[in-house]
Structure 1
Amino acid sequence: MRIIGGTLRGRKLKSLKGLKTRPTSEMVREALFNILGEKVINSIFLDAYAGTGAVGIEAISRGAKKVYFIEKDKEACRVIRENIKTLGVEEQAVIIRGKIPEIFYSFTEKDDFDIIFLDPPYGDFNIDCINALKEEGFIKTNTLVILQCSFNEKINLTEEFTVIKEKKYGITKLVFFRRN
């Protein structure tokens, strides 16, 4: 696995062995960041269900000012830390170990997120995650939220949110939405 674009382009990332995480493929990451374009530059980015941290690290490579990585698995957090240290981007990264959505209710960092990327295990998306982010004030009207899920997963958002775009890539779907 490698970084696709930006200042760290071509650098390799460590990943976990086995099926504990499902890293976002290079094709999907490239498509995601092509869609985001310059919105990433100087953004505060949240990579929730971070796994190996590939999406958040790609955001740093493409100019994000700060990236928060949230992951519940201890080994995955270790891999994210190693990747961040190897790449020398520790000052731009905050790694938080915790379970989503509960972690959002005890979140001590109160940065305003510009972009929130959610990549729960396929079939496990729960609207409680969105509700927790909204209730705790993390989703503003200008926050772009992106959900990565299975291409056939039905996403039922409340009327409070508007889907801007949906893109399918093989078995993966990216859903872009904002709060009204």
Structure 2
Amino acid sequence: MKNKQLTKKIIAGKYKGKTLLLPSKTTTRSSKSIVLESFFNTLQFDIIDATFVEVFSGSGSIGLEALSRGAKKIFFMEKDRDALKTLKNNISQTNPSACEVYSGDSFSNINAVVSRLKKQDENAYFYIDPPFSIREGMEDIYDKTLALVASLPIDNVKLIIIEHMSGLEIPDNIGLYHKKKSKRFGNTTLTYFDVE
């Protein structure tokens, strides 16, 4: 029996109600709707005309929600082949000219994305939702993620948001960034970092 294709809808904005496909559960996790809603309620108007980087994109549901709500440019980063296919399909439902996809390892590709931001003199929201470290081969994923955050140049960062397992202790300071707040949703927590 073929597995039923998982989907989710864009919650609000220009593309509200558009159906996004989700990649298979084994390779990626989809951010829960409640997490998404809370996040976008927090940013609401700040996202308009902003640049947005979704570091581990999966289906791209966060970046495409940002696009729907008025962000002008989205950078997507994804390594998994199936997820990439799904991501590109989802982008085609919205505005592909506002989206750039970087395929391959996010820890390497972040440099290319930062170079683009520097060249355009842009700062961006970085949404970082690494695979849970309980998955095989992902044991050091959070250490690498914290190093990635610390490496981001402050001139190109508006806000950093990390979606992570609730049990994970995230330090108050990562490089030059300070924890602004954390919000817990069951097993998932959003932690916000900025420069102040």
Q: TM-score by structure 1 length?
A: 0.90
> Within 5 A, what are the aligned runs for 1:132-151?
132=151, 134=152, 137=153, 139-140=154-155, 143-151=158-166
Q: Tell whether 2:27 aligns with 1:8.
A: no
8 Å Cα contact 1:141/1:179 also seen in 2 = no
Calculate percent identity across the aligned residue pairs. 26
Map residues 16-165 of structure 1 onto 2, 5 A cutoff.
16-87=23-94, 89-107=95-113, 108-110=115-117, 111=120, 112-123=122-133, 124-126=141-143, 127-132=146-151, 134=152, 137=153, 139-140=154-155, 143-156=158-171, 157-158=173-174, 160-165=176-181
The amino acid across from 1:151 in the alignment is S
Structure 1 residues 142 and 26, CA, compared in 2 at 3 Å: closer, same or farther? Answer: same
Is this contact kept in 2: 1:46–1:113, CA < 8 A?
no
Using the TM superposition, give the Cα deviation of residue 140 of structure 1 relative to its aligned residue in structure 2, in angstroms.
Answer: 2.6
Alignment CA distance shift 1:86-1:154 (3 Å) = same
> Secondary structure of 2:170's match?
coil
Aligned length, in residue pairs: 175
Cα deviation, residue 27, structure 1: 1.0
Q: Distance in 2 between matches of 1:101 and 1:172?
A: 22
Q: Distance in 2 between matches of 1:164 and 1:104?
A: 23
Q: 2:138 — aligned with what?
A: none
The residue identity in structure 2 corresponding to 1:125 is Y
Larger Rg: 2
Specify whether residues 142 and 15 from structure 1 end up closer, same or farther in structure 2 by C-alpha distance, changes over 3 A only. Answer: closer
Q: Distance in 2 between matches of 1:28 and 1:169?
A: 7
Can you give the 5+ residue segments of structure 1 that lack an aligned partner in the other structure?
Answer: none
Q: Contact 2:123–2:157 (CA<8 Å) still a contact in 1?
A: no
